[in-house]
Amino acid sequence: MRDKQIEDLKDYKYGFSTDIESFKAPKGLNEEVIRFISNIKKEPDWLLQWRLKAFERLKVLKEPDWQKPKYPKIDYQDLYYYSAPKSFKEKPKNLEDLDPKLLETYKKLGIPLQEQKRLNGIAVDAVFDSVSVATTFKDTLTERGIIFCSISEAIQKHPDLVKKYLGSVIPITDHFFATLNSAVFTDGSFVYIPPNVKCPMELSTYFRINASDTGQFERTLIIADKGSYVSYLEGCTAPMRDENQLHAANVELIALDDAEIKYSTVQNWYPGDKDGKGGIYNFVTKRGLCKGKNSKISWTQVETGSAITWKYPSCILKGDNSIGEFYSIAITNNHQKADTGTKMIHLGKNTKSKIISKGISAGKSDMTYRGLVDISKNAANSTNFTQCDSLLMGNKCGAHTVPYIKNKNSNSSIAHEATTSKISEDQLHYCQQRGLNQEEAVGLIVNGFCKEVLQQLPMEFAVEAQKLVGISLEGSVG
């Protein structure tokens, strides 16, 4: 009895030390909660109204169910929609508490010890925190007039820009998860590149302090003004753990005349254990609008994590001569499931799009490429090229290709090709004969299979991603 009281006191002591803990919205999804979120973030009234409008719409929308990977029904009233950063007591206290498998992976990727702690939300020495790196970084950007901050900060400091572009690509009346995000999003990144500025470095969430705590409903808005260029990196190769199972982020990209946005993602969220328990549902809406003439948006993604990945980074090619690109590697192992691809919607004249998708499934996993190429009546002289290849390892996994092709313009051409095969015995034999063991050989061949996509990644990312591809498939052969 006495012991218990002491325990309680301890709890209280911790709770007391982190005042922030009290900023937790009650469970459930209702108007109150949305007002609570908006209020706590000191948002202007228009944004609150915008959120409420999205919520109204959400009430009539139904959760989609056409996707290949099925999941247990989510009780949206049983979720917390806002909680301030968690106190350390809820987080693992040191690395020994973590899944040893995870630590092994870190080792192979060569991630420093401190970084491993940061990724898992373990208290990090103040000295290590990358504040200094971030500050110097910020100065360079400010000099050129580039805005790179959290979206909450942007709402306060640059309300005009946010108001003008937020929801202009993914309207609040979009599908279920996007609308849910619009109603309850908590934080995310905001980027604005002024006219004729080429962003001198790769922008990455990594450099934004506290970025890992943006929660499950992230909102990203990137605007490239006339003649500008930006390359943005999301995520990292190290496995990320998160308490929230559902992730429904929205990412909006807007490219004005002659602007170019390159958006690269490496996603390696916790896929669940070997039997497929736990693991994150990644239901992200990513959409880019090539609004101006000669603009270009290019998506590159390496998807190796999450229990279920369900997303279609898309391009709306509205401006004449605009270009949309999609490069993807999706790897599923064990019980992971992925239903991913892209949409290329050609509206402007002389628009071009290119889709390269590489899917690899192993273990008991299931992977689907689902894509849409839609050339509208007015998109004269438009072209699309699509290539989606799948590689299967073992006969307990599945690989599917579901492309939708719509051509309404006689001056436009669409070419699509897809193949499904396994690693050929000859190739394996050749590599093994030269002294590689089976796993190394598979790693090498798979890397070759993915090369076209890996090349699209920024240099330092590409090296890591290459390693990641090998690690993701460990134990899937033999």
Partner 1 sequence: MEQKLKTDFDKFISTSNFSNQEIKLKKEALDNFLKNGFPSRKLENWKFSDINQIIKKNIGELAFYNDYNVENEINDDNFIKEIEHNKIVIVNGKVVRLSFEYEEKDKINLSTLDNFSQNSNDDNSLLSLNNSFSNKIHNILVKKNYSFKKPLIIYQITNEKVSNTNINFQLNFELEENSLIKIITLSDDNSEKNFINNLFNFNLGKNSILKNYKIDKKSNTNIKYDYSSIIQKEDSISETFIFSSGSHYTKNEVNCNLEGKYSSAFINGIHLLSKNKHHEIRTKTNHLYENTKSYQLIKSVINDSSKSIYQGKIYVDSKAQKTDGYQLSKALLLNEQAEFNAKPELEIYADDVKCSHGSASGSLDDNSIFYLMSRGLDKKTAKELLINGFLLEVVEKITDEEIKKLLKNMIGLN
Kindly tell me which of 74 and 418 has the beta carbon lying closer to partner 1.
Answer: 418
Instruction: Report the alpha-carbon distance of residue 323 to residue 321 in Å, rounded.
Output: 7
Kindly tell me which of 233 and 397 has the beta carbon lying closer to partner 1.
Answer: 397
CB atoms within 10 A of CB 360: 27
Kindly tell me which of 140 and 413 has the beta carbon lying closer to partner 1.
Answer: 413
Tokens (6 digits) for 406: 């719509």
User: Taking the complex as a whole, how short is the minimal distance between the CB of residue 368 and partner 1, in angstroms?
Assistant: 9
Kindly tell me which of 132 and 410 has the beta carbon lying closer to partner 1.
Answer: 410
Distances (CA, A) of 189 to 163, 217, 220, 419: 15, 12, 5, 37
Kindly tell me which of 15 and 64 has the beta carbon lying closer to partner 1.
Answer: 64
Residues whose CB falls within 8 Å of the CB of residue 152, separated by 6 or more in sequence, listed in order? 41, 187
User: Taking the complex as a whole, how short is the minimal distance between the CB of residue 380 and partner 1, in angstroms?
Assistant: 9
Kindly tell me which of 16 and 66 has the beta carbon lying closer to partner 1.
Answer: 66
User: Taking the complex as a whole, how short is the minimal distance between the CB of residue 197 and partner 1, in angstroms?
Assistant: 38
User: Taking the complex as a whole, how short is the minimal distance between the CB of residue 396 and partner 1, in angstroms?
Assistant: 7
User: Taking the complex as a whole, how short is the minimal distance between the CB of residue 269 and partner 1, in angstroms?
Assistant: 26
User: Taking the complex as a whole, how short is the minimal distance between the CB of residue 333 and partner 1, in angstroms?
Assistant: 14
The DSSP bridge partners found for residue 286 are: 251
Kindly tell me which of 37 and 379 has the beta carbon lying closer to partner 1.
Answer: 379
User: Taking the complex as a whole, how short is the minimal distance between the CB of residue 389 and partner 1, in angstroms?
Assistant: 9
Kindly tell me which of 185 and 326 has the beta carbon lying closer to partner 1.
Answer: 326
Greatest pairwise CA separation for the chain in angstroms: 83
User: Taking the complex as a whole, how short is the minimal distance between the CB of residue 164 and partner 1, in angstroms?
Assistant: 35
Kindly tell me which of 47 and 402 has the beta carbon lying closer to partner 1.
Answer: 402
Residues found near partner 1 in the complex (CB under 8 A): 66, 377, 390, 392-422
Vertex 59: Cα angle to 56 and 60 (nearest 5):
105
Kindly tell me which of 10 and 406 has the beta carbon lying closer to partner 1.
Answer: 406
User: Taking the complex as a whole, how short is the minimal distance between the CB of residue 370 and partner 1, in angstroms?
Assistant: 9
User: Taking the complex as a whole, how short is the minimal distance between the CB of residue 395 and partner 1, in angstroms?
Assistant: 5
| Residue 173, φ and ψ in degrees, nearest 5 | -95, 15
CA torsion angle for 79, 84, 87, 92 (degrees, to 10)?
50
